[in-house]
Amino acid sequence: MGHIRDYDYSLLEEVIFLKEEETNQIINFKDLFQNGNPILVEIGCGNGHFIIDKALKNTDKNFIGIDIKQDRLVRCREKETKNSLKNLKWICGDAFFVIRDLFEDNSIDTIYMTFPDPWPKRRHHKNRLFKKEFVDVFYTKLIQNGLFIFVTDHKEYFDKSFDVIKNDKRFIVNANDIDDEFSISLFGYKWRSENRDFNIFILKKST
């Protein structure tokens, strides 16, 4: 019988929760972090390996991890508190609405979308986050020359997502320019070691 993990849900007291029934939830992240450093966001932060590593190496930047699952955010908070990070915050909620409702326009330096759920069955494709409506949302939230970085090992999801933005004149599009920096997440470590292929595109807001 497998080990049943106990979660310390008191760690969620420092997590920001999206209140879906409320409007005008914009957060002043300069006040929250008590500085005006650049803001970098990871969508689907999983166990927190990628974003915590980034926060440790870039103390002059502010990081925000978004996930919809509370158990994952408890694990993230456990790692964060062990490292006493002051430049890292967490938000629980659907990433589409978190980005749309909590962030000011032209406020995010970089968004990382690392190994999102591909929802591989056709009947579930409607649940995929990366679609035109989401592109329109994060375009307004990125600063000029801000980046959106998408990484997946699911080729069909990559191709469908790339089709959405390949002719979007609002961005400079760079596809499959792989850098090891973007393979640091929990899945990235695992799939690199198994020699799995994965794909990346980087969008730079240009207009």
pLDDT of residue 10: 82
Q: What is the pLDDT of residues 82-96, one digit of tens each?
A: 998 999 999 999 999
Is residue 52 included in any domain, yes or no? yes
117 is catalytic: yes
| Neighbour count for residue 92 (Cβ, 10 Å) | 18
Helices (H), 127-178: 132-141, 155-165
Q: What is the DSSP letter of 92?
A: E
Please check the confidence at residue 161 and state whether its pLDDT lies above 80. yes
Is residue 26 included in any domain, yes or no? no
Write out the two tokens for 20.
Answer: 């879906």
Mean pLDDT of the chain: 86
Q: What is the CATH number of the domain that holds 43?
A: 3.40.50.150
Write out the two tokens for 116.
Answer: 């999102």
Please check the confidence at residue 179 and state whether its pLDDT lies above 80. no
Q: Tally the domains of the chain.
A: 1
How far is Cα 56 from Cα 86, in angstroms, rounded to an integer?
Answer: 10
Is residue 193 included in any domain, yes or no? yes
pLDDT grade for 20, boundaries at 50, 70 and 90: confident
Is residue 79 included in any domain, yes or no? yes
Q: What is the pLDDT of residues 93-125, one digit of tens each?
A: 999 999 999 999 999 999 999 888 876 788 868
Which residue range(s) make up the domain with 59? 31-205
Is residue 94 included in any domain, yes or no? yes
Residues of the chain above pLDDT 70, percent: 84
pLDDT of residue 50: 87
Is residue 16 included in any domain, yes or no? no
Beta strand 142-152 with 199-205 is antiparallel
Cα distances (Å, whole numbers) of residue 136 to 164, 173, 194 = 11, 15, 35
Which of 119-128, 129-138, 182-191 ranks highest by mean pLDDT? 129-138
Is residue 5 included in any domain, yes or no? no
Write down the catalytic residue from 117, 153, 159, 177. Answer: 117
Higher-confidence residue of 33 and 174: namely: 33
